[in-house]
Amino acid sequence: MKDASSIRDQLGDEVIEVSIEGEPGLLLYEDLEWVQTEVSDDQTVCLLPSFDPYMLGHFDKKHLVDQAHYKEVYRKAGWLSPVVLLGGRVVGTWSYKRHGSQLSLTVMPFDSLSRVVRNKIKEKAADLGRFLEVTCVVTFSE
């Protein structure tokens, strides 16, 4: 904490104090607008890969995934499925197959997803495709 105090002093007006679920924290001022619009949006979509740290290390996982779908995410032998997050909660799993310059991504939602959420998933998949320098095609398995 001694080092953290000096970092806070060094950054001065570049950081602001915030409360995260009742706990004090620091945030770069330049990230404030992004956090307020993106992170606080309960419609934020993320595609997390297998074993993403966000999904690991929780004794109780009820805040992440409904009990009805627990075994689809946390599988046998310690395997963890790639997941689709909506507002920080798991709403489905996904898988992919690469065929040359094309990535076929299949989303298996737990419940029906709105058109808006489906489009956000497709946008995230397109980002993944750009990163991997491939074309990404998304299908929804229901």
- Residue ranges covered by each domain of the chain: 1-40, 42-140
Q: Is 79 exposed, middle or buried (0-12, 13-18, 19+ CB in 10 A)?
A: exposed
pLDDT in tens, 47-79: 999 999 888 877 888 888 999 999 999 999 889
pLDDT band at 5 (very low <50, low <70, confident <90, very high): low
pLDDT in tens, 8-51: 778 888 888 887 667 787 888 888 887 777 665 577 899 999 99
SS3 of 99, please? strand
- Report the range of poorest mean pLDDT among 4-8, 27-31, 119-123, 126-130: 4-8
Pinpoint the alpha helices (H) of 12-107: 32-34, 70-73
pTM tops 0.85, yes or no: no
